[in-house]
Amino acid sequence: MRKRTAIRALRLVLASLPAAAPLLAGPPPEPPPFYAIEGVRVEVGDGTVLERATVVIENGTITAVAEDAAIPAHAWVIDGEGFTLYPGLIDAMGSLPQPRRSPGGPGAGGPGPGGPRRRPDPDRALPRGPEDRPLTTPWKRAADDLTLDTEAVEAWRKAGFTSIAARPGDGLFPGRLSLVRLGAPGRDPEHQVVAPELAQMATLSSGGGFASYPGALMGRVAYFRQLLLDAAHYAAATAAYEADPAGWRRPEFDRTLAPLAAVASGEERILLPGSSAVEINRALRLGGELGLDFTIYGGQEAYRLAGELADAGVAVLVDVDWPEPLPERDRDPDADRPLREILHERLAPTTPAELAEADVRFALSSGGADGAADFLAGVRRAIEGGLEPARALAALTRDAAAVHGLDDRIGTVAAGMAADLVLADGYPWQESTRVEAVFIDGVRYAVSDGDDGDDGDDGEDGESAQEAESAAAPDGAGPRGRRGRGGPGGRRGGSSEALAPMRLAEVAEKYAEVAGDGRVPMTGPYREDDVLAITGATILTMTGETIENGTVVVRDGRIARVGSGVRPPSGAHVIDAEGGYVIPGIIDAHSHIATAGGVNEGSLAVTSMVRIEDVVDPTDIGIYRALAGGVTTINVLHGSANPIGGQNQVLKLRWGQNADGLRFQGAPPGIKFALGENPKRSRSFGQGPRRYPATRMGVLDVIREAFTEAAEYQAAWARHREAEAAGERSRPPARDLELEALVEILEGERLVHAHSYRADEILQLLRLAEELGFRIATLQHVLEGYRVADEIAAHGAGASTFSDWWAYKVEAYEAIPHNAALMTDRGVLSSINSDDAEEMRHLNHEAAKSVKWGGLSDEQALALVTINPAKQLGIDDRVGSIEVGKDADIVIYDRHPLSSYAVVQTTLVDGRVYFDRELDRSRQLQLAALEAALTESGEDAGEGEEP
């Protein structure tokens, strides 16, 4: 009752203001900038509350916040009785509300997601390398274009938002964010800019496919790395010149590199994308590697990484546009949603709560949210997910300011701070809350119902309330375009199909409840024992020795003992493998699983700067399936789109660990080359101009040319080092990651894995490598290797081939299943690989084909998938055979592994049980039970209501 009276009183005060506006031709007059809000409850924004205070605003600044603050005589007094005053809400990263542009309008350097598709400019060549600076406009600022959609701005304002940390346009490096106030822009848009240069930003999300560089995710990461190196070099060269210009040529001004120099040196912050856990880990790694000052944005799966983020001291801008299922009517009733997706939907909104509890600095951002109502619905969901309302408010105010280094001026209700304030009768995200007034930079924007005095329906009806509000707004915006914007009860508020948020701990509890005894981990090893023994099996050690009824003892992940008379140590976990067969873990020398964002950076003929290690996806279920096929180590290769492809990464299949945890530490680095049809693009990869080379001649030319350049680069560095050593003045050459990788090849430090088919091209590559002074480590596919086996053996290259695939293209028409056997007979170190997520599940059977076709012995055949690929990859000191001291990567079969009927029973990596056939059955049942429990209808239904 009392509250009602207060509202009425306030309205009466407000009603007098805009009445005169229509009489004037220009904008309405501005009242004197002095206000006092009396008797109001104040949420300071830092967690503290003043139950009753007077807040004085003068000339855009808060001059007093106190219970007994003196009210200056010139101040306009507002009765705050029954209201709470908050700091104005800040969208920690969002897009400026701008009018929709017509296609062909100004962009930010190229097409981006959601951006208008533009006709390619025929005069502008497609980016052909990092030097073309694709989609890179770091000189731009979001505040450069303040053409705002006034209605949209108003909608945000009415919801209590006073500023947006606005992102620049699209692109890989689109420019800097600016903090822009949401005051009426019509008057003086520049005036609304609080900070034009908050931070640089990178996206890693727009790519050119095969048409332009960078096309794949790993290409974008590589470009990121190279660009920052270039910026650092630019800064150093410029500084050196400035310090001592005499005798030096002046470094040319570069508007792309200049603004990034401070990012490269860690002096200016950059926002890095990271929504999924894999992406967040990638951002942490990249930022750390390059020594950047960075903030992560996205953060929706940060609930899994709160501890890591706290340790790294990295702040997160959490996108509150939470994942949601498709509405029931749009879903295929037959479609089975992955448990992972269901879990993520329930866990994502708990990210803010998890981060708050782990003391990670974070703020909330609108991300993909469609307007203020969506944003606030997302905040509500975060609160349902455990975020304390006070922390929610802080995240939307002080913390958002603090993340961007502006908390000394905005974000709290305190004397001296800018007067960006919200007066409301509840928390801004509560659907029942009515925002009465918003102050931006001391200018008051009335938001209430206006003066119609109709109290009958002003309660929850957002739209009618807004309609009235428009007329009362100081900018005089017309009553158009309100639908769906601002106000409570937007789209998301009405969504009822998202299930209630659930914390990780709750999921774990639920899982424990439904899984019961014998619960197995959802991901990760089934068993971890310090000491373990496998007994009773026939052990095919791959050292030439077969041990009947043998025992393998594993201690701390390594093989401790192997023999027939060996007793399991006391306390060891014993795996009874009686009647079974034990072999070393299978090694697949050619795989593309566990990658994200494409395995081909196909835009350029040479992409030696791109790295598979940047895009390892440890969540790929293919890893688990490979373990179930006895595979423990894989060589993840770049694709074959170009003569010199990207850098490969050898992984151990430690399922459940992150990308770093999967890396095979100590495995020599390598790179992919490719010959024949794929790099010369006999087959077309979509539109766009054809890329050199188009023939096998050109493929060789590209490789020769690249190494010529690399040798020059190598020499330039050598000259520089010599000069430095001699105390002469010398500038370091600019680092070039593409050429560095090639120099490593020349220096014998990087293994070349060359995709090849025809005998002639194989021979030509061997001869070219010899000419250039390096050795090919492995020929991959090498389907006609049998025709030049002697030459391959003489060169010293390994050969990794398919068992029996053929005729899928012309250069595979001469393939024979005897290839591995014939090459083995001729002294080539040979292996059988899969190149395929399915084929890799039965490489033991594929190896058996070399017994049938070509007559290898069983031992030789098994070597094709164990010790031989280990040697080819330079990791045979660690894996590939069962020997004391080697890693305990072991597979147990129920019968001889070359039998078509052999089934993997257990797979160990580093002595841990990552696959077990019995436990897998439990896993299936338990995960199904968890899924059922998580999707039970009614039980945890969301709290939203139908619109």
Note whether 845 binds another protein by CB under 8 A: yes
Q: Of 30, 267, 530, 790, which lies in the binding site for another protein, with binding defined by CB under 8 A? A: 790
Minimum CB separation from another protein for residue 849, in Å?
6
Minimum CB separation from another protein for residue 841, in Å?
7
Minimum CB separation from another protein for residue 624, in Å?
7
Q: What is the dihedral of CA 369, 370, 371, 373, to 10 degrees?
A: -80
Q: Of 18, 324, 805, 919, which lies in the binding site for another protein, with binding defined by CB under 8 A? A: 805
Q: What is the dihedral of CA 561, 565, 570, 576, to 10 degrees?
A: 90
The neighbouring-strand residues paired with 576 are 535
Residue closer to another protein (CB basis): 381 or 795: 795
Task: Round to whole Å and give the CA distance between 638 and 616.
Answer: 11
Note whether 171 binds another protein by CB under 8 A: no
Q: Of 839, 887, 910, 916, which lies in the binding site for another protein, with binding defined by CB under 8 A? A: 839
Minimum CB separation from another protein for residue 620, in Å?
9
SS (HEC) of 152-208: HHHHHHHCCEEEEEECCCCCCECEEEEEEECCCCCCCHHHHEEEEEEEEECCCCCCE
Note whether 77 binds another protein by CB under 8 A: no
Which is it for strands 34-43 and 904-909: parallel, antiparallel or unpaired? Answer: unpaired
Minimum CB separation from another protein for residue 438, in Å?
38
Note whether 621 binds another protein by CB under 8 A: yes
Q: Of 49, 70, 810, 884, which lies in the binding site for another protein, with binding defined by CB under 8 A? A: 810
């303040």: which residue's tokens?
146
What is the crossing angle of helices 737-746 and 217-243, to 10°? 100
Task: Round to whole Å and give the CA distance between 798 and 872.
Answer: 6
**Which residues, in sequence order, are CB contacts of 143 under 8 Å at separation 6+?**
166, 178, 180, 193, 196
Site string for another protein, 522-541 (x = CB under 8 A): --------------------
Residue closer to another protein (CB basis): 211 or 533: 211
Note whether 684 binds another protein by CB under 8 A: no
Residue closer to another protein (CB basis): 665 or 684: 684
The amino acid at 809 = K
Minimum CB separation from another protein for residue 114, in Å?
11
Note whether 768 binds another protein by CB under 8 A: no
Q: What is the dihedral of CA 351, 355, 358, 363, to 10 degrees?
A: -170
Task: Round to whole Å and give the CA distance between 626 and 339.
Answer: 20
Binding to another protein, residues 387-416 (CB under 8 A) = none
**Which residues, in sequence order, are CB contacts of 754 under 8 Å at separation 6+?**
672, 673, 674, 675, 765, 776, 778, 779, 780
Minimum CB separation from another protein for residue 236, in Å?
37
Interacting span for another protein (CB under 8 A) from 61-69, 161-169, 308-316, 818-826? 818-826
Q: Of 853, 883, 919, 940, which lies in the binding site for another protein, with binding defined by CB under 8 A? A: 853
**What's the token pair of residue 542?**
């791959």
Note whether 899 binds another protein by CB under 8 A: yes
Residue closer to another protein (CB basis): 427 or 915: 915
Give the residue among 718, 746, 747, 711 at the shortest CA–CA distance from 732.
718
Residue closer to another protein (CB basis): 1 or 807: 807
Task: Round to whole Å and give the CA distance between 80 and 56.
Answer: 12
Of all residues in the chain, what percent are helix, strand and coil, respectively (each to 5)? Answer: 30, 20, 45
Interacting span for another protein (CB under 8 A) from 100-108, 141-149, 391-399, 789-797? 789-797
Minimum CB separation from another protein for residue 621, in Å?
5
Q: How many residues bind another protein (CB under 8 A)?
A: 66
Note whether 625 binds another protein by CB under 8 A: yes
Minimum CB separation from another protein for residue 341, in Å?
9
User: What is the helix (H) or strand (E) element at residue 720, kind and residue range?
Assistant: helix 696-725
SS (HEC) of 602-617: CCCCECCCCEHHHHEC
User: What is the helix (H) or strand (E) element at residue 650, kind and residue range?
Assistant: strand 644-652
Q: Would the CA dihedral through 742, 743, 746, 751 be positive or negative?
A: negative
Task: Round to whole Å and give the CA distance between 134 and 216.
Answer: 13
Minimum CB separation from another protein for residue 113, in Å?
8
Minimum CB separation from another protein for residue 817, in Å?
6
The total of other beta-carbon atoms located within 10 Å of residue 116's CB is 13
**What's the token pair of residue 192?**
């609304």
Residue closer to another protein (CB basis): 464 or 922: 922
Residue closer to another protein (CB basis): 92 or 599: 599
Task: Round to whole Å and give the CA distance between 714 and 482.
Answer: 63
Q: What is the dihedral of CA 453, 454, 457, 461, to 10 degrees?
A: -50
Q: Of 806, 859, 874, 919, which lies in the binding site for another protein, with binding defined by CB under 8 A? A: 806
Minimum CB separation from another protein for residue 656, in Å?
15
Binding to another protein, residues 329-348 (CB under 8 A) = 329-336, 338-340
Residue closer to another protein (CB basis): 466 or 833: 833
Note whether 273 binds another protein by CB under 8 A: no
Give the residue among 189, 216, 870 at the shortest CA–CA distance from 589.
870
Minimum CB separation from another protein for residue 788, in Å?
9
Q: Of 16, 102, 570, 900, which lies in the binding site for another protein, with binding defined by CB under 8 A? A: 900
Q: Of 352, 598, 798, 880, which lies in the binding site for another protein, with binding defined by CB under 8 A? A: 598
Residue closer to another protein (CB basis): 628 or 716: 628
Binding to another protein, residues 174-213 (CB under 8 A) = 209
Task: Round to whole Å and give the CA distance between 582 and 241.
Answer: 65
Task: Round to whole Å and give the CA distance between 377 and 379.
Answer: 5
Site string for another protein, 707-726 (x = CB under 8 A): --------------------
Torsions phi, psi for 525 (to 5 deg)? -65, 145
Three-class DSSP category at 511: helix
Minimum CB separation from another protein for residue 598, in Å?
6
Note whether 220 binds another protein by CB under 8 A: no
Residue closer to another protein (CB basis): 285 or 852: 852
CA 644 to chain centroid: 26
Note whether 837 binds another protein by CB under 8 A: yes
Q: Of 122, 456, 728, 901, which lies in the binding site for another protein, with binding defined by CB under 8 A? A: 901
Residue closer to another protein (CB basis): 581 or 713: 581
CA 101 to chain centroid: 29
Note whether 274 binds another protein by CB under 8 A: no
Length of the chain: 947
Residue closer to another protein (CB basis): 692 or 805: 805
Task: Round to whole Å and give the CA distance between 236 and 244.
Answer: 12
Residue closer to another protein (CB basis): 343 or 401: 343
CA separation (Å) from 944 to 343, 936, 938? Answer: 19, 17, 13
**What's the token pair of residue 680?**
């010369």
**What's the token pair of residue 817?**
């299943």
Interacting span for another protein (CB under 8 A) from 10-18, 160-168, 322-330, 429-437? 322-330
Q: Of 261, 745, 752, 902, which lies in the binding site for another protein, with binding defined by CB under 8 A? A: 902
**Residues in the site for another protein, rule: CB under 8 A?**
113, 209, 326, 329-336, 338-340, 597-598, 621, 624-625, 628, 677, 683, 686, 786-787, 789-791, 804-810, 812-814, 816-818, 822, 825, 837-839, 841-842, 845, 848-849, 851-854, 898-903, 920, 924, 927-928, 931
